[in-house]
Every structure is written in C-alpha cells, then in structure tokens.
Structure 1
C-alpha cells in the first residue's frame, strides 16, 4: 500500500485513520509493503501507475511491470504453441487479450494497447514463418491475414479462413485496441461498499458498467434489454466485476463464451424490421437447443411415410 498526501504529517494521519478502520476487522498494515510517496513522484499499485503531472492532472496508466509481464506471457505462450494450428493459437491468446484489455480499459491505455497489438503481430508473423519455412512472405500474409472482422477496417487481422466462428464470420484474433476506453465514474460522496444501507446504490452502479463487448454486440444487447429472446432470462447477469486481468480472462471463458452467441438463423446482414427477422444475441445453450429441435423436426418431416392399408 502507498499513502500519497501533500505532506508526510498528513500521510501519517491518513495511515492512522486507516489503521483504526482495519483493526475491528482483524487486519493490519504490512509495513514492508507500505510506504509514503508524493504523487509527483508516482507509484505502482495493483498493476497501475499513478502520477500527478504539473501539480494538477493525475494520470493513471498500466504499470511497466504489468506490461512486461504480459509481453513475456504472450511470448511464452506462442513459444509453447509451436507446431499447433492457427485455431489453437487464437483460442489460447484471445482470452488473454480480452481479459487484460478489459481490466485496463478504465485508464489511459490507448497507446499501450496499440504497442501490444504490434507485439502480438510480430509474434503471430514469426509463428507463421516458422510453421511454413519454405513459403514466401506474400503467401503467409495471404494465408493468415485479412479483413476478418467486418466491423473493423483492418486488413492485418490474424485468422483462419477455413474456420467459421459462432457469429458467422472468419475465426480471428482480437486486438487490444478494439476495446473501448471507459472512464471510471467517481463514487458519490463517501459511499462505501461496506455500508449495508447503500447496497442498492452499489448494485445499481454495477449494472451501469458496460461489459467489454464491441459496439455491435453492445447495441444488440441494449436493443434486447439484456435478455435472451429464446428463454427471456438475462444474458449477462450483473455480478461483482472481476478485479484482475486473470479474473477477466476467466470471465470471458466461463461466462461470455458459454453464455452469448449471435443467432444468424433467420437474418444475416442489414438492419431488418423491428419485429421481423434480425440478428440477435441469445444464450449459447438456447441456440444449441433450438438447432437440435430444428434438426429433429427436419428429420421427422423428411422421413417417408408408408401408407397403411390392405393390398
């Protein structure tokens, strides 16, 4: 923990007040990890770097250590994926990219996101060159890169043309820069999550936090009021937001990937009539059940019936 105040005396007073608040809860400060610093010097906390510039503006960015840890993890994952196919590479890296970008989307991260996208591009290109050592560069580019995300004017998206995603498009790798920056909303007054009288306030505040989906899926979710048109239940239930990149990564794997699917059964492309056939977000389980019922009905209708009667 780091205490940041205008003077050391004020910092000691804040530390004493926090100690009084922690004592009834059976908690104490770890003196080895607690220090007093000036905001103008900057400090790292929970993967963020906080620093006040020109005695007025506070800038919060992902810490250098956090960025270096991520770059190393991506490099190690790509090294372990040597010999794997492109689908395995995308399936492994996509949750890591989405989770890290979701955790840091509330601070000044745009430039770091772009730099990380460049790092991932170099890793994927090196992987492709190693997988096809006898192929020319142009062949590799045509094979693995293209405008695979139809909502992005980007022709350097890594993907597999032979694999179709659940949304109906080419299976591709996401980018850090595709995650929108959402600024943190200040808490009203001195509202504390530990105050039982403010339970409704914190629940309402969590519901207002937009999930880290792209604009297209966010618009679909808003149009449906967050509910699945097949079963009527909420698609993404508003629980306590994840508190680390790894928790966001697990959230993507366990919640979004299994809960959300885009239904293109009746409509693909265009806007469609408000009450007519159009693309909608549904639960993945509901979509699988609908497809199973459709296949059973098709199989029954296609079965020839033998007329009954006497010859």
Structure 2
C-alpha cells in the first residue's frame, strides 16, 4: 500500500504546530487566552472550503446577474449560505463566518451599485447592515455552536 504524500502525513500539533485539514475543517491546537500554557484543539473551515464558497458567491453575484433583481440573487445565494453554515457551525468558526458575511455584503453592494450605475460601493450611506437585513440575506454570524471541551465519563 502506497500513501499519497499530499493527502497523508504526520502533523505536528504540539505547542500550536501546523495543524491539518480534514473533512473541510482545519484542526489546530491553540493556546488558551485565559490559561497560558494550556493548548486546546480547535477547528474552523479550511482555506480551500472558504475559497470554494467565495467562488460560489462570486458566481451568484457576477456581472451577468445585473439584469436580475437583487432579491432573485439573494434567493439563489441563501441555500448555499444555509448549507455551509449548517456544516461548519460546530467548532470555532466565528471569525470565518464574519469574514464570509462581509464578503457577501461587499459583493451585493458591488452588484447593486453596478446595476444602478453608481460608482463605488456606497457602504456608509446606502448599503448598510439594515439594507442587507431587508434583503433577507442569511447571516452566518451567530450560528456557531461550541464543541464540548471535556469528554463524557
């Protein structure tokens, strides 16, 4: 039996080493902010998983979508975001979820600006948090469920 060098290997997890990717998650030991010197295994979406999601968001909000109403684009985007959140909500995904929410907000602001012939993204005045909420975009932020730290006895 031969092992594939890219898919299998030995990962160094001591003292917050490199970590490893498995089933779309990146696993790494991270030092506790409360108890220095103690390391806990944490997991969040891997770089590849985020890249694939960003490609799907970019495809849903691309230049060819300017003819469609924004509500139709949001309707296509919401199932993707819901499924992604359901899979990655366990663990330590909060920071990655915030980044994805920001990216969705940016892409929808660019799409709407382009559709209405405006220059720039108009973040402050037009495309605020209330605007994105009114559109009905599914938000990933707030969907994280922390995994239990201790094993059951």
TM-score by length of structure 2 reads: 0.75
Whether the 8 Å contact between 2:94 and 2:142 is mirrored in structure 1 is no
Which residue number in structure 2 is paired with residue 31 of structure 1?
Answer: 3
Deviation (angstroms), 1:45 = 0.7
- CA distance, structure 1, for counterparts of residue 23 and residue 118 of structure 2: 45
Q: Deviations over 1:234-268 (max 9, x none)?
A: xxxxxxxxxxxxxxxxxxxxxxxxxxxxxxxxxxx
Q: Which has the larger radius of gyration?
A: 1
For residues 42 and 135 of structure 1, do their structure 2 counterparts lie closer, same or farther at Cα, with a shift above 3 Å needed?
closer
Which residue number in structure 1 is paired with residue 34 of structure 2?
Answer: none
1:1-311 correspondence to structure 2 within 5 Å: 31-32=3-4, 33-39=7-13, 40-54=17-31, 56-79=39-62, 80-133=64-117, 137=122, 141=126, 154-160=129-135, 172-179=136-143, 181-185=144-148, 188=152
Gapped runs of 5+ residues in structure 2? 32-37
Q: Secondary structure, in 3 states, of the residue corresponding to 2:10?
A: strand
Whether the 8 Å contact between 1:62 and 1:107 is mirrored in structure 2 is no
Q: Secondary structure, in 3 states, of the residue corresponding to 1:128?
A: helix
Whether the 8 Å contact between 1:42 and 1:51 is mirrored in structure 2 is yes
For residues 60 and 135 of structure 1, do their structure 2 counterparts lie closer, same or farther at Cα, with a shift above 3 Å needed?
closer
Deviation (angstroms), 1:178 = 3.8
Deviation (angstroms), 1:30 = 6.9
- CA distance, structure 2, for counterparts of residue 77 and residue 105 of structure 1: 23
- CA distance, structure 1, for counterparts of residue 2 and residue 137 of structure 2: 41
Q: Secondary structure, in 3 states, of the residue corresponding to 2:80?
A: helix
For residues 110 and 96 of structure 1, do their structure 2 counterparts lie closer, same or farther at Cα, with a shift above 3 Å needed?
same
Q: Secondary structure, in 3 states, of the residue corresponding to 1:44?
A: strand
Deviation (angstroms), 1:132 = 0.7
Q: Which has the higher contact order (CA 8 A, sep 6+)?
A: 2
Whether the 8 Å contact between 1:59 and 1:108 is mirrored in structure 2 is yes
Q: Secondary structure, in 3 states, of the residue corresponding to 2:145?
A: coil
For residues 101 and 78 of structure 1, do their structure 2 counterparts lie closer, same or farther at Cα, with a shift above 3 Å needed?
same
Q: How many residues align?
A: 138
- CA distance, structure 1, for counterparts of residue 137 and residue 8 of structure 2: 40
The alignment yields a C-alpha RMSD, in angstroms, of: 2.9
Gapped runs of 5+ residues in structure 1? 1-28, 147-153, 161-171, 190-311
